[in-house]
Amino acid sequence: MRSVFEYRRRIASRGVGLLMLAACMVSLAGCASRPGPDSLLPTTAEAPGATKQVVLVATTRARDAKAGTLFGGERASDLDFATVDLSVPPTHKAGAIEFPSQAPGNPATDMVVHEAIYRDTEQDFVRDLNAQLARLPAGQRKVLVFVHGYNTTFSEALYRLTQIAYDAKTPGVPVLFSWASRGKTEDYVYDNNSATAARDNLERTLGLVAASNAEEITILAHSMGNWVTVEALRQMKISGRMIPSKRIGNVILAAPDIDVDVFKTQLRRFGKPEKPFIVIVSRDDKALGISDFLAGGKLRLGNYTNDAELVSLGAMVVDMSNVKAMDDMNHGKFAQLIGQGGKMREELEKEMAANGGAVPSQINVDGVRISGIDARIAASAAQKASEQQKPSGQ
């Protein structure tokens, strides 16, 4: 029988470890630039060369009356909506977010908000979505639904999606699903519970997007947002309300903060998807390393090393371990991947040509290793390349 002194020693040791971990999390988070609390103050200023962007919002956050905030970190009683007009500066660098240095920001150098309007009903949300889709030609009426991760304020999520939509350089309407994260490193448990509570409302949001005139719907989740996303998709599949596969572009799980064993059970219950989930991983992800520790040493999906097993479950694995990150935590690498589709298609075509048209099991592009390439993705890449090579007017 252990003495009470030994028991106290172990508790004290664990307490010191947790305090050191908390200090580490705060110091790492402090290295990254974050927008101010009023960074969504609208401006009427314009700048030559700035690019306009409209983002539709569905959120489980409560509205915040403070100027320039729109939504805070507390949970709302029901799903809420907004439509936000922004612009991206002509000096924008791919993968970066130019937060306003001082509200309301300078559109020549910063991402800024020009107008933000609350929407009260699902009908308002779908009407705004259809209005944005109608601006696009038939065949290009696509929607990108983005689900952010832990320790993320509303403004951070909004500006991140603006960056992603701009860098992707493909037509479509960005939709932000924002769950109630407080945007504080010490609120990991609160955020985790908020993410779990948001599952039904993400399912509801995806249903609204599917009820719109969108021809194709792509879902991109980051970090803890993957837990919300995979759970919502699992619920939709079990209930028979899954979006038809022909309308799903891709399901992209970036740096997933999900226990690997949990993900395996989710995917086994979901069944092997017709088009593989794209899982973006990096072995040097410090944020997921901390999550591993908090979860009792259980590995997170975003830094899992067995690509072959994930491929067998129905995933295409994009390994960014050898890519230098733009953030200190190595947790936002996925944003650097946006806009690299052209290079990846070229490499895929080259490999297929060298192998008599056979789809390679793996390709490497600028330090990014891609495993489990699906034949339909390869065919889509070949088709896009063929369309780009056609002379204008054909």
- Give residue 204's identity as a one-letter amino acid code: R
The domain locations on the chain are: 8-336, 340-394
Q: Mean pLDDT, the chain, as a whole number? A: 86
Q: In this model, does residue 174 exceed pLDDT 70?
A: yes
C-alpha to C-alpha distance for 78 and 61, rounded to whole angstroms: 9
Give the per-residue pLDDT at 362: 83
Q: In this model, does residue 140 exceed pLDDT 50?
A: yes
Q: In this model, does residue 196 exceed pLDDT 70?
A: yes
Per-residue burial over 350-363, b = 16 or more CB atoms within 10 Å of its CB, e = otherwise: ebbeeeeeebbeeb
Q: How far is CA 37 from the centre of its chain?
A: 22
Report the share of the chain in percent with pLDDT over 70. 87
Q: Interior CA angle at 134 toward 43 and 254, to 5°? A: 70
Q: In this model, does residue 181 exceed pLDDT 90?
A: yes
Q: Which tens digit of pLDDT belongs to each residue from 216-256?
A: 999 999 999 999 999 999 999 999 999 998 999 999 999 99
Residue 156: DSSP 8-state: H
Tell me the CATH number for domain 8-336: 3.40.50
Q: Which tens digit of pLDDT belongs to each residue from 95-139?
A: 899 999 899 999 999 999 999 999 999 999 999 999 999 999 999
> Is the pTM of the predicted complex or chain greater than 0.95?
no
Q: In this model, does residue 22 exceed pLDDT 80?
A: no
Give the per-residue pLDDT at 233: 95
